[in-house]
Structure 1
Amino acid sequence: MLALLGLATILALLVAIMTNKLSPLVALIIIPVAASLIGGFGVETTKFIVSGIKDIAPVAAMFVFAIVFFGIVTDAGMMDPIIDRILRFVGLRPTRIVMGSALLALIIHLDGSGAVTFLVTIPAMLPLFDRLGMDKRILALVVSLAAGVNFLPWTGPVLRASAALKVPVTDIFSPLVFVQLVGLVFVFSVAYVLGKREEKRLGLTGAKGESADIHARVLSAEEEKVRRPHLFWANIALTAVILGTMISGVVDASVMFMIGTVLALILNYPGVKDQKARVDAHAKAALMMASILFAAGAFTGIMRGTGMLTAMATSAAGFVPAEFASHMPFAVGIASMPLSMLFDPDSYYFGVMPVIAHVYQSFGGAPIEIAQASILGQMTTGFPVSPLTPATFLVVGLCGISLGEHQKFAIPYLFAATVLMTVTAALIGVFPF
C-alpha cells in the first residue's frame, strides 16, 4: 500500500512539474501532504515536514549566503579585471578566442548561475566571433561545456542531491574534485581543437594576435557606482580563503559563506545603507532557491517519515538483479546527461534519485554514490541543451542559432564529458564500475 502510494506521489510530482501544471514550490509541498493525509497519517504529517525542514536548513543557508556573497564581490568589481584581461589576451586568434570563452565562462560560473554565466560571457565574446566569421555553435558549445563541468558545492544539482539524501554537500563534492579537473582538461582540449579547426577553416593560421580593446565592456552608471576597483586583491584573497576553507571541510560551508558575506559587506560597503542595498539586490535570487529547498525538505521529510520511500525501494529492489546492483552508480553516471532531456532538476533529484539511492542501499551500497554519479551529467553537462531549462534558450538566443543546431552540435561533446568523468570516478574509486 505504502509503495503504491509513494509511486503515485512521485508520478504526480513529475507530471505536475514537467507539464507546468504546478510550480516546483507548490508541487513539492501540496502533493506529499495530500499523499500523507490519504495514507492516514493525519496531523503527524506536520512532524514529518518539520523534521525535513530541519535537515535541509544548513543547505538552504549555504545557498542563500553563497548567492549574496558572490553577488557582493561581483558588484564590487572582482570579476572586471579578469574579464578585461581575457578579452585583451585573446586578440583575434580563433584558438585563443575559443579557449578564452571557455575560461571566462568557467570563472563567471563561480556564482553557480548558468544564466548569469551566459549573459556575461556570450555578449563579451560574440563580437569577436562575428568579426572573424567564426562558427557561433562553437561559442555556444564551449560556454555550455565550461558551465556544465563546473559543478560546485553551491550549484543547484549538488544542493538538490544533498537535500534529497540529507548528506553534507562537501561529502558529495570533495571526492569528485579530481574528476572535475579531468572534465576541465577535456573542456579546454575541445576548445583548443575547435579553435585550431576554425583557424584552418578561416585561413588564419598565421594571423597575429590583435588588440580586442574595441570590444571592451562598457559599465552602466549604476554598475560604476557600486564598483570598488581598489579592493580587487582584497576581494580575491577573501574569496580564496572562504572557498579553500569550505572545500577543505574544516568549517561547515554554510558558516563560511555567512562569514564571507559579512566580511565582504564590511570590506566593500561599510555604510549601512549600501549594505542593505547590496543584500536587497540579490535577495530575490536567494529567496527563490531557498524556498524550493525548504519545500524539498518538506517533501523528503514526508516521504521518509511515512515510510513511502523505504517501501518503494524495497519493492523496486525485487526487480533489480543482484549481479547488477553494484553497477548502479556507474549506469546512473553514464545515463545522467541524457536524463536531463527527460527530467528537470527538481523532478529528478527529489523524485527519481532518492528511489534509486534507496534501492542501491538495499543491496548494501552507499546512497551518496548515486548522488555523485547523478551530478556528473543530470542538469550539469545536460542543462545547457535540455529544453526543460530556460538557460538553454538563453544560450541559443544570445548566440543567434537555433535550438536544433545547438543540440546537434553540442550534445556529443557534453555526453562525452559525462562519460569521461564517470569512467574517471569509477577508476579512482568514487563508485564501482
Structure 2
Amino acid sequence: MLTWWAYGMVIAFMALIMTKRLSPLTALILVPTTVGILAGFGPGLGEMMLQGVIKLAPTGVMLMFAILYFAVMIDAGLFAPIVSRLVALVHGDPVKVVVGTAVLALLVSLDGDGSTTYMITTAAMLPLYRALGLRPLVLASVTMLASGVMNILPWGGPTARAASALAIDVSDVFVPMVPVMGVGILWVLFVAHRLGRAERKRLSVQRADEEQATLREELANPAYEDDTQHRRPDRLLVNAVLTVVLLAALILALLPLPVLFMLGFAVAALINYPSIEQQKALLARHAGNALAVVGLIFAAGVFTGILSGTKMVDAMANSVVSLVPPALGPYLAIVTGVLSVPFTFFISNDAFYFGVLPVLAKAGQAYGITAAEMARASLVGQPVHLLSPLVPSTFLLVGLAGVDFDDHQRFTLKWALLSACVLLLAGLLLVVIPLVGHR
C-alpha cells in the first residue's frame, strides 16, 4: 500500500506542475502533506517536514546569497565588457551564442560542481542573451544538458556514489566511460546548434545584423537595461579580483559554501553600494528573485522529508526491483540504465545509488554482469536527474536565468531524455555497458 501512495504522490505532483494547476512551490508542500495525511502518517508529518527543511537549510542559504552576490556583480557592470566583446565576436548570430554557451558550460563543469557551472555560465551569458533577444530558456537548457553529461566525472558525485555503494574502484567505473562522455559532449554541441538555429529563425539573422551597432551602443550606454545607474566601472578590477578569489575559495572548499557566499555578498555590497540606502535598494531589486528560489528549496525539503520519513522511497525501490522479470536478467545492465532515468528524477541520487543499485548489481552477478558494468549503466540518467525538483542547484539555475521552473522542465525534458538515450546507446556500442550478460 505504501508503494501505491508513493507512486500516487509523485504522479500527482508531476501532473499538477506540468499542467500548471499548481505552482512548484505550492505543489511541493501540499501534495506530500495531503498524501501523508491520507496514508495515515499525520501525527509524524511535522517532524518529517522539519527534518527535510533542516537538511536543505544550508543549501537555501547558499543559493540566496549566491543570487544576491551575482546580482551585485551584474548591476555593477562586471560582465559588461565581456558581453560587449562577445557581441562583436558572434556578430549577432544566435547559433554562435548558444554553441558558445554549451562550450563554456562544458569547460566550467570540469570542476564537478553544478552550482558553480550555473553561476558562471549564466552570469557571463545572460546579458548577451538579453542584448540579442534570445530566450533565457535556451540558456538554462543548454547549460543543464552540458552539466548533466559532465556530472559523470568522478568528483561530480554520482560516479563516486556508485563505486562506493558497490565497493569497487572509481577508476573501473569512470575510465571506460570517458569515450561515452565524449559522445555525450558532441551530442550537447549538436543540440546547442539545433537550438541556436531555431533562435536564429525566430529572430532572423537580418534583424540581428542590422541591430549590431545599436546593441553595441546600448551595452556602453548608461541607460542599458535600466540598471546602469548602478554601474561601478571604477571598481571593475576590484570586483573581478573578488569574484576570482570567491570562485577559487569555492573550488578549494576553504569554507562551507553558504559562508563563502555570505561573506562574498557582504564585501561586494559594501564595496559597490556602501550606503545603507543603496543596500536597501539593492535588496529590494533582487529580493523577489532570491525569495522565489529559496522558497522552492525549503518546499523541496518538505517533499523529501515526507518521502524519506514515511519510507516511501524504500517502498518504491523495492517495488521496482521486484517487478523486474527473470527473463530480463541477462539484460539487467540495460534495465539499470533505463531505471536510472526515472529513479534519479523522482528520488535522490543517494537513495538510488545506495538503495537500488546494490540490489540490481547483486542480481546482475548471477548473469555474469560485473559490478563496474552495472555502475556505468546507472550513470546514464544524470541528464534527466538534474531536471528533478529535488536537485537544489536546479533552482539556482532557473533563478539566475529568470525563468519559471515548470517552463524549464517542459522545454528541457525532451532533450534530457534524448541525452540519456545517447549515453546508453554509446555505452552499448562501445561495449562499456554490456548488451547481455557474459554467461
User: Which runs of 5 or more structure 1 residues have no equivalent in the other structure?
Assistant: 127-135, 153-157, 159-168, 197-208, 340-346, 396-406
Query: Cα distance, 1:121 vs. partner?
Result: 3.4
- Look up the equivalent residue of 1:216 and give its one-letter code: R
The match for 2:143 is: 147
Structure 1 residue 46, shift from structure 2 partner: 0.7
> Contact 1:51 / 1:301 at 8 angstroms: preserved in 2?
yes
User: Residue in 2 aligned with 1:318?
Assistant: 322
Q: Give 1:187 shift.
A: 5.7
Counterpart of 1:359 (choices 346, 351, 356) is 356
Distance 2:73 2:159 in 1: 23
Contact map agreement 2:9 2:31 (CA 8 A) in 1: yes
Aligned CA distance change for structure 1 residues 235 and 170 (closer, same or farther; 3 Å): farther
Alignment match, 2:27: 27
Q: State whether residues 99 and 193 of structure 2, in contact with CA within 8 Å, keep that contact through their aligned partners in structure 1.
A: no
Equivalent position amino acid for 1:45 in 2? L
Count of residue pairs brought into register by the alignment: 363
How far residue 56 of structure 1 moved from its aligned partner, in angstroms, is 1.2
In the alignment, the residues of structure 2 paired with residue 301 and residue 16 of structure 1 have an alpha-carbon distance, to the nearest angstrom, of 20
Choose from 235, 239, 242 the match for 1:238.
242
SS in 2 for 1:216: helix
> Scaled by the length of structure 2, what TM-score is found?
0.63
- Larger fraction in helix: 2
1:54 corresponds in structure 2 to: 54
**Deviating more after overlay: 101-110 vs 30-39:** 101-110
| Cross-structure match for 2:16 | 16
TM-superposed deviation, 1:317:
1.1
- Among 124, 132, 147, the residue aligned to 2:131: 124
Q: Sort the Cα spacing of 1:141 and 1:46 in 2 relative to 1 into closer, same or farther, 3 A.
A: closer
Identity of aligned residues (%): 26
1:4-403 map, 5 Å: 4-91=4-91, 98-100=95-97, 102-103=99-100, 112=119, 120-125=127-132, 146-151=142-147, 171=157, 212-218=212-218, 219-220=222-223, 222-320=226-324, 323-327=330-334, 330-331=337-338, 349-350=345-346, 358-363=355-360, 373-377=380-384, 389-390=406-407
Name the SS for the 1:21 alignment partner. coil
C-alpha change, 1:35 and 1:191, in structure 2 (3 Å) is closer
Task: Write the letter of the residue equivalent to 1:55.
Answer: K
Judge which range, 215-224 or 252-261, deviates more. Answer: 215-224
* Shift in Å, 1:49: 0.8
Instruction: Work out whether residues 50 and 305 of structure 2, in 8 Å CA contact, stay in contact via their aligned partners in 1.
Output: yes
In structure 2, stretches of 5+ residues that fail to align are 106-115, 162-173, 198-208, 363-370, 388-393
CA contact (8 A) 2:24 2:405 kept: no
Please give the alpha-carbon distance, in whole angstroms, between the structure 2 residues aligned to 1:4 and 1:193.
Answer: 40
Q: Residues 134-159 of structure 1: CA distance to partner in whole angstroms, max 9, x if unpaired?
A: xx9xx99985774344549xxxxx9x
| Cα-to-partner distance string for 1:362-421 (whole Å, 9 max, x where unaligned) | 4369999999644424666x999xx9953599x9xxxxxxxxxxx9xx978x87766666
For 2:61 and 2:311, the matched residues in 1 are separated by 27
The SS at the match of 1:376 is helix
The whole-number CA distance in structure 1 between the counterparts of 2:433 and 2:259 is 29
Letter in 2 for 1:258: M
CA offsets 1:296-317 (integer angstroms, 9 cap, x no match): 1111111211122212211221
Root-mean-square deviation over aligned CA pairs:
5.3
